[in-house]
């Protein structure tokens, strides 16, 4: 660990110790900190403050944003980067402490959940496109070693929880309009009828897109029903649908193209009409039965996700009989179940909690590939070039135990054993394209341990360590780095050793401060080998290291003002020299990159700060977001420059009887800075860059009716 991290650690410890000595406050008692139960760490009786992990909870009520993407909502979370790609054909780029940075579409290396149901497939591929923020109540983010208790690809855990049913009927309607003919309209209904609670949230979004060839539309409907069964327990029924019929893909730009016109689309995007359509349906049941000091939790879920994507793959490349074409057609059905038993009581006279559980998930994928041309017509579905049935299933067992073994000390131990099998059956076999069927299995046990010291009522120090692992996803297995047909079954899972030292301080007036120093050493790091025409292949490149520091604080400095900030310093690099490709169409790496080369897609520093003011009926916020430069490829010969953005938001809110009316305005990138919002790692045509928009003005209206609104 470099000297600057030790300096940061010293300052953090000093700040925590000094602050703990002054517990007086002039702030009103109504500003007290909530002491939530740690859902993200699978503990039921232990608050987040007393766990040896970094946990952030974001309140989404009300969410004064369009509620379409999570990038703005997650901007203030230390250790996390969520990049707005201005491209709805690809998912938001999310990385946690450097895990997930290589994803060119979708989310990898991070476990995602909605209302306790996995939004990450068993192979580790996840999406946040169906996160319905308008119907959301909170987002929880778990970082560090204890993420591995969630299994494969858990460099971090992000959970969206829907708003809870209200005692009285409530109706909310929210609409917003922005540049590029962007508009959203959402409605939410919640309430309680007898022993049943209900939440229904629907939202419609349309945009012409900031860049050329980037128009999109999206419709989401989500429902949650809760049933109080008395002595028989409690049952939640979850269902949702996402329909994104056509999202145009402008592709990335070279640096010269960015300088010429950052809003343009790559010529190939128009030639091949690159685009993507998605339909997803999902439903689940979650049941809890408390019996004395024990509780039985059982859940089951099922869903389908259909994807059709048109790539900018040149016609000439498809002359190779092993090429699978420029149109991807995926039909995924998935499901699973999870059951765990928990107990809380006393051990040796001290509080204790124990959980034991098992998890089964399966994913069936029908993968078709077609040429993206027919005769002289480009960007259309042509002849069949790939037809295979893929299946992945996992069976995991996990346990976790927490014990306060002394007045000021507690320990949290856990372990998970995962067994994952990938199977592929090739149904496209010709004389020039052999049978590429096959299977591969991965197994791993991931232990974790953490220790917490309670220095006083308001201060905690903790140490945690553990092991994590990440298998390749079907998308990463989908194309071999050597250009051959079939799946890349030679890929190995990445295994990491994770360490974290941190502290938490808070006072009843609502102020808190948290810090963490972390390190992750990974073997068999999975990295992008080639990335061209919307198609990515991967390989193992050896060991890597991610180390850094996280700082965050929240302070209600007066009755009307609140300050908050989050800082992340991250050093992520390959520990050994690695071969890289530097030209389009490269099958064999010919350019060496030395040991210590930065892992692409990651910024070394990120800072977010905000000041919030309120004086009924008015409120205002000023935000600053600074992001350091980002390496765009494994060779490290090109970087996206860093940037600092200033955002403003202000609004008016008034309660009139049982109705609340709100109007708000957001001004993002007030200084109209040119910046790169995200990068496409290792793009072989050097079209690495996805520019962000200039100054953006967003107007929003919100109407809320509550049958018993006392606010």
Task: Summarize pLDDT for 206-251 with one digit per residue, the tens.
Answer: 999 999 999 999 999 999 999 999 999 999 999 999 999 989 999 9
Structure confidence at residue 106 (pLDDT)? 73
- The pLDDT value given to residue 582: 59
Higher pLDDT, 548 or 134: 548
Q: Which residues pair with 392 in a beta bridge?
A: 363, 422
What does the pLDDT read at residue 267? 94
> Mean pLDDT throughout 388-401?
94
- Per the prediction, the chain carries an average pLDDT of 88
pLDDT at position 587 is: 57
String of DSSP letters for 150-190:
G-TT-SEEEEEEEPPPPSS-EEEEEEEEETTTEEEEEEEEE
Asked whether residue 2 carries a pLDDT value surpassing 70, the answer given is no
Residues 6+ apart with CB under 8 A from 669: 645, 646, 647, 675, 692, 693, 694, 695, 696
| 634-653 residue pLDDT tens | 888 899 999 999 999 999 99
Phi/psi at 383 (5° precision): -70, 150
- Inform me whether the pLDDT recorded for 535 exceeds 50: yes
Give the CA distances from residue 66 to residues 46, 202, 204, 557, 654, in Å, rounded to whole numbers and listed in that order. 34, 13, 10, 29, 20
- What tens digit of pLDDT does each residue of 616-637 get? 999 999 999 999 999 998 888 8
| pLDDT the model gives residue 652 | 94
Closest to 253 in 3D by CA, of 686, 694, 692, 681: 686
Q: What is the pLDDT confidence band of residue 131, given thresholds at 50, 70 and 90?
A: confident
pLDDT beyond 70 at 534:
no
Confidence of residue 25 (pLDDT cuts 50, 70, 90): very low
What single string gives the DSSP state of each residue in 246-298? EEE----B-HHHHHH-TT---HHHHHTT-EEEEEEEEEEEEEEEEETTEEEEE
Integer Cα distance of 514 and 512 in angstroms: 7
pLDDT at 323 over 80: yes
DSSP 657: T
Q: What percent of the chain has pLDDT over 90?
A: 67
pLDDT value of residue 21: 38
Q: Is the model more confident about 640 or about 28? A: 640
**pLDDT-wise least confident of 110-119, 470-479, 538-547:** 470-479
Give residue 584's pLDDT band: very low, low, confident or very high (50, 70, 90): low
- Which whole number is the average pLDDT over 658-684? 92
- Please determine, for residue 38, whether its predicted confidence score (pLDDT) is greater than 80: no
Higher pLDDT, 134 or 611: 611
Question: What mean pLDDT is predicted for residues 411-432?
Answer: 93
Categorize the per-residue pLDDT at 41 as very low, low, confident or very high, splitting at 50, 70 and 90: low
For 319, the 3-state DSSP assignment is helix
Residues 6+ apart with CB under 8 A from 11: none
94 or 42: which leads in pLDDT? 94
The pLDDT of residue 1 is: 43
What is the 8-class DSSP label of residue 113?
A: E
- Write the burial class of residue 17 (CB in 10 Å: 0-12 exposed, 13-18 middle, 19+ buried): middle
Is the per-residue pLDDT at 711 higher than 80? no
**Which pLDDT band holds residue 66 (cuts at 50, 70, 90)?**
low
What pLDDT was estimated at residue 443? 93
Domains annotated for the chain, with CATH where assigned, are: 3-706 (2.40.170.20)
Q: What is the pLDDT of residues 431-464, one digit of tens each?
A: 888 888 888 899 999 999 999 999 999 999 999 9
Q: Is the pLDDT of residue 39 over 50?
A: yes
Question: Measuring CA to CA, which residue among 249, 245, 174, 239 is closest to residue 206?
Answer: 245
Residue 28 has pLDDT above 60, yes or no: no
Residues across the chain: 711
pLDDT at 586 over 70: no
pTM of the model: 0.90
Token pair in block for residue 650 = 């202000």
pLDDT tens digit string along 538-568? 888 889 999 999 999 999 999 999 999 999 9
């Amino acid at each position: 660990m470099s000297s600057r991290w030790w300096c940061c650690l010293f300052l953090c410890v000093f700040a925590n110790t000094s602050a703990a000595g002054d517990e007086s406050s002039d702030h009103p008692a109504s500003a007290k900190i909530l002491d939530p139960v740690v859902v993200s760490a699978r503990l039921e009786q232990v608050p987040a403050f007393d766990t040896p992990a970094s946990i952030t909870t974001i309140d989404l009520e009300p969410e004064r944003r369009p509620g379409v993407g999570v990038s703005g909502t997650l901007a203030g979370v230390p250790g996390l980067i969520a990049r707005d790609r201005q491209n709805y054909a690809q998912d938001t780029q999310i990385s946690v402490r450097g895990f997930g940075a290589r994803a060119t579409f979708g989310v990898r290396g991070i476990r995602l959940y909605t209302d306790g149901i996995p939004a990450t497939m068993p192979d580790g591929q996840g999406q946040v496109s169906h996160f319905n923020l308008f119907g959301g109540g909170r987002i929880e983010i778990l970082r560090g070693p204890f993420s591995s208790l969630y299994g494969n690809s858990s460099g971090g855990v992000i959970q969206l929880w829907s708003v809870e049913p209200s005692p009285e009927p409530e109706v909310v309607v929210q609409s917003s309009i922005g540049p590029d003919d962007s508009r959203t309209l959402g409605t939410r209904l919640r309430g309680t009828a007898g022993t049943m609670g209900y939440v229904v949230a629907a939202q419609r979004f349309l945009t012409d897109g900031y860049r050329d060839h980037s128009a999109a539309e999206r419709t989401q409907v989500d429902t949650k029903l809760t049933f109080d069964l008395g002595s028989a327990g409690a049952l939640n029924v979850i269902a949702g649908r996402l329909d994104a019929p056509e999202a145009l893909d402008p592709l990335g730009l070279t640096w010269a193209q960015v300088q010429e016109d950052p809003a343009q689309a790559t010529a190939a995007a128009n030639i091949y009409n690159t685009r993507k359509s998605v339909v997803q349906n999902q439903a689940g049941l979650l049941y809890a039965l408390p019996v004395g000091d024990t509780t039985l939790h059982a859940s089951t879920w099922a869903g389908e996700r259909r994807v059709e994507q048109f790539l900018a793959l040149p016609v000439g490349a498809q002359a190779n009989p092993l090429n699978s074409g420029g149109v991807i057609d995926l039909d995924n059905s998935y499901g699973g179940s999870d059951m765990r038993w928990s107990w809380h009581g006393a051990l040796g006279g001290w509080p204790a909690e124990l959980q034991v559980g098992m998890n089964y998930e399966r994913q069936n994928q029908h993968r078709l590939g077609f040429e993206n041309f027919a005769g002289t017509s480009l960007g259309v579905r042509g002849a069949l070039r790939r037809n295979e049935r893929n299946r992945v299933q996992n069976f995991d067992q996990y346990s976790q135990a927490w014990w306060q073994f002394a007045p000021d000390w507690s320990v949290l131990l856990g372990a998970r054993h995962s067994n994952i099998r990938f199977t592929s059956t090739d149904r496209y076999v010709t004389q020039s394209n052999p049978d590429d069927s096959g299977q591969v299995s991965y197994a791993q046990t991931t232990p974790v341990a953490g220790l917490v010291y309670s220095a006083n009522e308001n201060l905690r120090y903790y140490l945690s360590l553990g092991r994590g692992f990440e298998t390749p996803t079907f998308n990463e297995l989908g194309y071999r780095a050597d250009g051959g047909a079939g799946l890349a079954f030679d890929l190995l899972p990445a295994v990491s050793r994770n360490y974290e030292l941190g502290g938490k301080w808070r006072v009843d007036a609502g102020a808190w401060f948290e810090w963490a120093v972390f390190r992750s050493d990974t073997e068999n790091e999975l990295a992008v080998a080639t990335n061209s025409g919307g198609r990515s292949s991967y390989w193992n490149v050896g060991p890597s290291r991610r180390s850094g520091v996280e700082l965050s604080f929240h302070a209600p400095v007066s009755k009307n003002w609140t300050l908050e900030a989050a800082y992340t310093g991250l050093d992520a690099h390959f520990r050994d020299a690695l071969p890289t490709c530097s030209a389009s169409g490269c099958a064999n790496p010919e350019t060496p990159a030395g040991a210590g080369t930065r892992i692409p897609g990651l910024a070394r520093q990120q800072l977010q700060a905000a000041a919030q003011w309120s004086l009924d009926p008015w409120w205002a916020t000023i935000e600053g977001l600074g992001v350091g430069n980002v390496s765009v490829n494994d060779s490290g010969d090109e970087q996206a420059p860093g940037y600092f953005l200033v955002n403003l938001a202000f609004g008016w809110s008034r309660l009139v009887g049982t109705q609340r009316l709100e109007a708000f305005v957001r001004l993002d990138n007030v200084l109209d800075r040119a910046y790169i919002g995200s990068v496409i790692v290792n793009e072989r045509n050097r079209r690495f860059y996805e520019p962000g928009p200039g100054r953006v003005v967003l107007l929003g209206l919100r109407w809320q009716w509550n049958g018993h609104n006392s606010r």
